Amino acid sequence: MSKNLTKHNFLVSRNQREKVSGHPGKVIWFTGLSASGKSTIANALDLELNKRGLRTYILDGDNVRMGLNKDLGFSPESRKENIRRISEVAKLFADSGTIVMTAFISPYKKDRESAREVIDSDYVEVFVNTPVEECINRDPKGLYKKAIAGEIKGFTGIDAPYEEPLNPEINLENLSIEKSVEILINYLKQQCIIK
């Protein structure tokens, strides 16, 4: 990092932004295998929070890789950089008074720990705990089929590891979308993030 950088302080504080939002900024970090339901649950939660008039946004793995992170591949180094970048972006969203949901496989424990360090107390880890067999059966993009056939190398859950979270704030173990959203809403209420 350049030594010629200076952090700029803004005239509008985070507290002022959150007052306008009517709620604190938070990062709800969905992690799990491909086809586990991360994006689907994040979208359903986003819709429910939007109906309640809350300021939200989703940072989805595929969408971010089509723009901000289109220069990254899927090597362990690229995956690490992908998570590093999105951690910084998610932190900015939280600082703006937004409840941001991130839907990334984020397979490595160390990278999720780094995200937690960057985002700090705003980080809420949600493990979408769907067995790989169920993910293979769903396979909406046909990626597991290609990985099993050897057409995709380094695919998480097939020939690349997924390190399960040991202590996520929320463990959604193969639940319906509706039940998952209910659990998430109850958690956000209990933590006084939403009313």
Residues taking part in catalysis: 106
The enclosing H or E element of 149 equals none
Buried b (16+ CB within 10 A) or exposed e, 114-144: bbbebbeebbbbbbbbbebeebbebbeeebb
| CA distance linking residue 29 with residue 52, whole number of Å | 21
152 contacts 62 by C-beta, under 8 angstroms: no
